[in-house]
Structures are given as structure tokens and as C-alpha cells.
Structure 1
Amino acid sequence: MRSASLGLLASLLMLGSCMAGSDAASASLTAEKPDMWMIVGEQRFGITLANATAAQSLAALAPLTLEMSDLNRNEKYATLPRALPVKASRPGTIRNGDLMLYGKDTLVVFYKDLNSTYAYTRLGHVNDTSKLAQALGQGTVQVTFSHD
């Protein structure tokens, strides 16, 4: 009887452990609310902002709608209504979804990975880039940045 009780106790402990792990796993899969949204046509992309003064300054401009032009078939850019604080560095590798500031007033959204020797201030990153290139398309596109 004692070994049956120990077996039952061990089974309950294992079950509790699995359930706790399951809760932790589902909690980690739950997406956090993005810091901002980028809307391109019917597509909405969540953005996680960098922990930087320039990123907070960009957020303060929202809601903001920009006509973004294409450059080099890997990025969209537009001039902001005012300059942002600059803390530029040369990232070397730029990733699909990087949101950067070139100079003090040019917002750039990259939709392809590339290597670059240019200096940028990191603003944030698009959370899910699976449809980013398709949404941004070729040529000029209207992009809205908002908090909701």
C-alpha cells in the first residue's frame, strides 16, 4: 500500500510539473502588445521599439502617415516632420523589419536583409516580417504609424 501511495504521489507531482510547464509555455507563446503599429494598406504590423530616446521621440509623433519611397529594392524611407535625437552606429548587418533613423530626420523601414556601411540610429523592429516585403511592394507607399 505504501509503494502504491508513493507511486500515486510521484504521478501527481509529475502531472503538476507538466501542467505548470504547459502554462509557462502557453504564456510565452502569448504575444505581448506591440509598442506601435505600422499600417500598410490592409496589413497591420506590430513594432517593438528600441530602448532609446529616438524611438520614444518617434512614438510621440504618432499617429503619423508618411509617403515612403523605395530605395535599392530593400528599404522604404521618408522624411519625418521633425528631427529626432541621434545616436548613430554602423550596424553592419541590417535585418528584414529593422526600423532605423538615417541622419536626424529620415525614417527607414528595411524589408530585406543586407550588409551596410552606413550609420543609423536604431528605432525598433517589425515583429512579424513574413508579409512585410509584399505589403510594402515597389515604388511609393503610404504608411501609417499609430498606437492602436
Structure 2
Amino acid sequence: MKNLMILLFGLFLVIGSIACKTDEPTIASPNLENNNENTIDTMSNRLKIKIGSKTFHAMLLDNATVTAFKARLPLTISMSELNGNEKLYNFPANLPTNASNPGTINTGDLMIYSSNVLVLFYKSFATSYSYTRLGRIADPSGLEAALAASAAGAGNVTVTFELE
């Protein structure tokens, strides 16, 4: 009788633990300091940016905005000048965004302003505007010169974005 009680107790433990198990994936709590939505995925998010004869390489972040941006690639567009520090392009349709104020824009930053304006920054500066980050050019040296040379000064420039 004692063995039967031990067997039944063990069976209840096994059944109870199986009943509590779920097949849903564990969701990590967000890291508010590093903003997990903007982690870099080095395996699939390498971007090639061609401006005239110059090619730049960027790392894209891993977020919903980047996913929507990558769905539009490859992309050859005419980007217009704004403020002497950035080139921009207006997408005809909105992208999902999660804008925040970066405080400082760095040369080579690639971002979305509002929900449909692609912005490539070629000068660093402080900002009070909010953007959704897409990524950053790994080595932006020569970026300003390439944009100026291709645009014949401060005009429009043709830029090609494609995944590597």
C-alpha cells in the first residue's frame, strides 16, 4: 500500500509539472538602458550604400523599422539636401517607427524622421528632434565629400541602398 501511495504521489507530480508547462517562448524583459529593440544583428543586417563611385558599409539595427526598410531594398533614390548636414528622401508610404531623441546625430547615422523620411547624416550635431534609428555607416570618412561631389554642391544626389 505504501508503494502504491508513493507511485500515485510521483504520478501527480509528473502530471502537475506537465500541465504547468507552456509551449510559448519566454520573453525577456526589456533592458531599458540599452533599448533591446535597437540591438545590432551582424549576420543579416549589413548594408551597402553607393554614392557615385564611392561605396560605404553600414550595420543596420534589428527593429520593425529596419525590417520594413529592408523589404524595400534594393533601392536607388534621389536624396535632397537639408540644413547642410543631411540628405533625405520621402518614402511614399509610412514605415513603423519608434522615435526617440538621440541628443546627438553622428556622421553616418541612417534614420527615419516622422514615419516616412529617410535621412542620411553627413555631419555630427546636437538635435532636439526625434528619429527612429536604422543603423550607422561603419566608416563614414569621405561621406560628406562623396555626397557633395555627387550632388554638384548642395543639390540632389543619387544613392543606392542594398543588402550585402
Normalised-by-shorter TM-score class? 0.7 to 0.9
Match of 1:105 among 116, 130, 151: 116
| Alignment of 1:143 onto 2:159 | yes
CA contact (8 A) 2:108 2:120 kept: yes
CA contact (8 A) 1:34 1:46 kept: no
Match of 2:101 among 72, 90, 103: 90
SS at match of 2:80: strand
How far residue 53 of structure 1 moved from its aligned partner, in angstroms, is 1.0
How far residue 81 of structure 1 moved from its aligned partner, in angstroms, is 3.6
* Count of aligned positions: 118
| Partner AA of 2:53 in structure 1 | E
Q: How does 1:109-124 map to 2 (within 5 A)?
A: 109-124=120-135
How far residue 33 of structure 1 moved from its aligned partner, in angstroms, is 8.5
| Partner AA of 1:141 in structure 2 | V
Larger radius of gyration: 2
Q: Deviations over 1:21-68 (max 9, x none)?
A: xxxxxxxxxxx8961111101111111001211012111110111110
Flag structure 1 segments of 5+ consecutive residues without an equivalent: 1-31
TM-score (norm 2): 0.68
CA contact (8 A) 2:47 2:162 kept: yes
CA contact (8 A) 1:36 1:59 kept: no
| Partner AA of 1:94 in structure 2 | I
Return the structure number with greater helix share. Answer: 1
| Alignment of 1:128 onto 2:144 | no
Aligned-residue RMSD, C-alpha: 1.8
How far residue 82 of structure 1 moved from its aligned partner, in angstroms, is 2.3
Flag structure 2 segments of 5+ consecutive residues without an equivalent: 1-42, 149-153
Aligned equivalents of 2:69, 2:44: Cα separation in 1: 18
TM-score (norm 1): 0.75
Q: How does 1:27-46 map to 2 (within 5 A)?
A: 35-46=46-57
RCO (CA 8 Å, sep 6+): is it higher in 1 or 2?
Answer: 1
| Alignment of 1:75 onto 2:91 | no
Indicate the percent of aligned positions where both proteins have the same amino acid.
Answer: 42
How far residue 114 of structure 1 moved from its aligned partner, in angstroms, is 0.5
Q: Deviations over 1:77-129 (max 9, x none)?
A: 01124211110001110100000100111000000000110110011001110
Aligned equivalents of 2:59, 2:108: Cα separation in 1: 10
